[in-house]
Structure 1
Amino acid sequence: MAESKAWNWKEETGSIWLKPSEDSYYIAERWKENGYKNVLDFGCGLGRHSVFFAKHGFNVSAFDLSEEGVSHLEKWAIDEGLNIDTAVADMLSLDYGDNSFDCIFAYHVISHTDTVGMNKIMSEISRILKPGGEIYLTLCSKETWSFKDAGYPKIDENTVVKTGEGPEKGIPHFYVTLKDILNLFADFDIDRIRHTDDCYFSGNEQNSKHYFILARHKGVNNRQLE
C-alpha cells in the first residue's frame, strides 16, 4: 500500500481552493431536505467546504493529512465564529466511531492512494457512515491525460505517481472506469454518476476528467477491486 502524502500547500496559490465547489450548493440543499445534520469533510484541504457546510447549519467534522491545511481551517473557523471539529489524520485509518456521520463530502481527495489503499478507504467510509447516510465524492477517470498520456510512473494497474512540480508532486493518484466504480460501490445505492471533462481552464485546453458520485450507504461491507 502506498504511503499517504499530504499536499504541499506552499506550492498552490490558486484562489479556487478557498471557494466552495458548485456541486456543494446542491448537495447542501439536498442534505438539509433529507434531515442530515452531521457532515464529515473527508480531506478538507484548506477548509472551503467545511466552512461552507457549517454556515449552512450542519454539524461539521473535518480532517486532512496536511497540518498546514487543518491549521488554516481552524483559523478560518475562528474568524467566522464557526464551531468545526478538526483533526490531522490519514484517511486510511480514521479515529471516528462506527456510524458517526449522516453524510460524507469527499471532493478531489480519496484518489490520493493506490488500489490497496482505495479498498481500505472504502472500508473506513462504510464503517463511519450511518446506514442510509449519503456520500458525495469524486474519483479520477482513466480517460484523463494524467493517466493515459503523461508518462507518470505506475505503481499498479490503476495508480500513477505524479512527478511534475507543484503541490501534488510525489502523491499517488488512483484512477477508475465506470465498471470500477460499480464494483467499489456494489453495496451502496447509487443515485447518480457523472463523468465530466474540464476541457479548458487556466487559459489552456485541458483533458482533466473525473467521476462525480452520489450514493447511499446500505449498511453492509463493500466489495473491493481485485
Structure 2
Amino acid sequence: MTVLSQEWDWIKSKDPVWETPAQECYYYVWRWKELGLTRFLDLGCGLGRHALQFAEAGYAVTAFDLSQSGLDALAASAASRELPMELVRGDMQALPFADNTFDSLLSYHCIYHTDVKGLKQAAREIARVTRPGDEIFLTLNSTLSPNYTRAGPEYRRLDVRTLQYAKDGEEGIPHCYVNAHEAAELFSGFEMLQFRHVEDHSFLGKKGCHFHIHARAL
C-alpha cells in the first residue's frame, strides 16, 4: 500500500494554537541567527506561524506545504506585515530544492503525516536539502502516545506504525508513530544535539507524546 500525501484544509481550522509560534522556536530563532544560519526552510508551514516568526527576525524564509489554503493564508499574512518570503507548494517526499539548499530547517508536527515508507522518504529529503554542518529541529509522534496505544475501532491501521481515522466514510490524515530507536535511525545521518521525549498534556486539550529532535547535518 502507498499512502498518498494529503493536505490539511486550514479553512476549517479554528484553534489559535496554529497561529502562535511554539515556545521551542523562540530559542531556534535566537540560536540559528547567532550561528549565522539564516537560509531557513519551514517544512510543513501550515498557516505560517513559524515562517512569519523567522521572517520577522530577518531570516531568508522558504515556507513549504502541500496545503494551498494554508499557503494562501500565509501569503496574506506576510503581505499585511510586509515580510518577504518564498512560498512553495509541494510534497515533503519530493522536495523541489537542490541539495544543500538550507542551513536551518524546522518541521513542527508535520512529517509524521504519512506512513512508514513516506516518513523514511521525508527524512531522506530533509538530509538531502540541509547543508552539512548546519541544523534542524523537528518533531515525531511517539508510540507511547495514548493516541497510538489506545486507538479505538474508528482508526484503520495502514501499516505497523500508521493509523488513519476512518469512520462513517471519513478518511483522516494518516499519523505515523515511532519508538526512540526508530526515531534515531531515521536521522542517523545527523549528529544528535538534543533528543527528547515530551508529553504534551495540554496539546489541543489532549495528552500526546512526541520526540523533539535537534540535530546537525553531517
TM-score bucket of the superposed structures, by smaller chain: over 0.9
Identify if the C-alpha distance between structure 1 residues 32 and 44 changes in structure 2 by more than 3 Å, giving closer, same or farther.
Answer: same
Identify if the C-alpha distance between structure 1 residues 122 and 79 changes in structure 2 by more than 3 Å, giving closer, same or farther.
Answer: same
Counterpart residue identity of residue 32, structure 1: K
% identical aligned pairs? 38
**Residue 15 of structure 1 corresponds to which residue in structure 2?**
16
**Residue 39 of structure 1 corresponds to which residue in structure 2?**
40
CA distance in 2, matches of 1:4, 1:208: 23
**Residue 181 of structure 1 corresponds to which residue in structure 2?**
183
Runs of 4+ in structure 1 deviating by more than 2 angstroms, as ranges, are: 162-165
Q: Which blocks of at least 5 consecutive residues in structure 2 are unaligned?
A: none
Count of paired positions? 214
CA distance in 2, matches of 1:112, 1:162: 12
Counterpart residue identity of residue 160, structure 2: E
Residue 183 of structure 1 deviates from its aligned partner by: 1.1
Counterpart residue identity of residue 11, structure 2: K
Residue 11 of structure 1 deviates from its aligned partner by: 2.7
Identify if the C-alpha distance between structure 1 residues 169 and 19 changes in structure 2 by more than 3 Å, giving closer, same or farther.
Answer: farther
- The 5 A counterparts of 1:74-113 are 74-113=75-114
CA distance in 2, matches of 1:188, 1:40: 17
- The 5 A counterparts of 1:1-226 are 1-151=2-152, 152-163=155-166, 170-200=172-202, 206-218=206-218
Residue 71 of structure 1 deviates from its aligned partner by: 0.6
Using structure 1 for the length normalisation, give the TM-score: 0.90
Counterpart residue identity of residue 16, structure 2: S
CA distance in 1, matches of 2:61, 2:202: 33
CA contact (8 A) 2:9 2:70 kept: no
Counterpart residue identity of residue 178, structure 2: V
Deviations 1:153-212 (A, max 9, x none): 1111111112379xx95211110111111211212100011111122455x5x3211111
Q: Which blocks of at least 5 consecutive residues in structure 1 are unaligned?
A: 219-226
Deviations 1:105-131 (A, max 9, x none): 000000101111011111111111101
Counterpart residue identity of residue 35, structure 1: G
CA distance in 2, matches of 1:80, 1:5: 29
Deviations 1:68-118 (A, max 9, x none): 000111111110011010011111111111110001100000010111101
Judge which range, 144-153 or 66-75, deviates more.
Answer: 144-153
CA distance in 2, matches of 1:158, 1:125: 21
CA distance in 1, matches of 2:83, 2:65: 18
Deviations 1:53-80 (A, max 9, x none): 0001110001111100001111111100
